[in-house]
Amino acid sequence: MLNEDSVQYAIENTQIVVMPQNLIQTFGTTVFRFHLVTELMDSVEQVRIRDGRLHAERPSIITPAHYHRVLDEGFGEKAAEFVEWLRENAADFAVLRYGFQFRKVDVKERVVRQPVEDVLRGLRELVDREEDPLSAVIQGVDEGWEVCLLKFATDMIQRSAAGNLGEWKRRGLL
Q: Residues 6 or more apart from 50 whose CB is under 8 A from it?
A: 34, 35, 36, 37, 38, 107, 108, 109, 145
Q: Once rounded to an integer, what is the mean pLDDT over residues 148-170?
A: 90
**pTM value?**
0.80
Is the confidence at residue 106, as pLDDT, over 90?
no
Q: Are residues 11 and 74 in the same domain?
A: no
Q: Structural domain tally of the chain?
A: 2
Q: Are residues 92 and 107 in the same domain?
A: no
Q: Once rounded to an integer, what is the mean pLDDT over residues 86-106?
A: 65
Percent of the chain scoring above 70 in pLDDT: 78
Q: Are residues 50 and 117 in the same domain?
A: yes
* Residue 77: domain span: 60-97
Q: Are residues 82 and 12 in the same domain?
A: no
Q: Once rounded to an integer, what is the mean pLDDT over residues 123-133?
A: 97
- Look at residue 126 and give its three-state secondary structure: helix
Q: Are residues 45 and 113 in the same domain?
A: yes
Q: Are residues 84 and 106 in the same domain?
A: no
Q: Are residues 65 and 10 in the same domain?
A: no
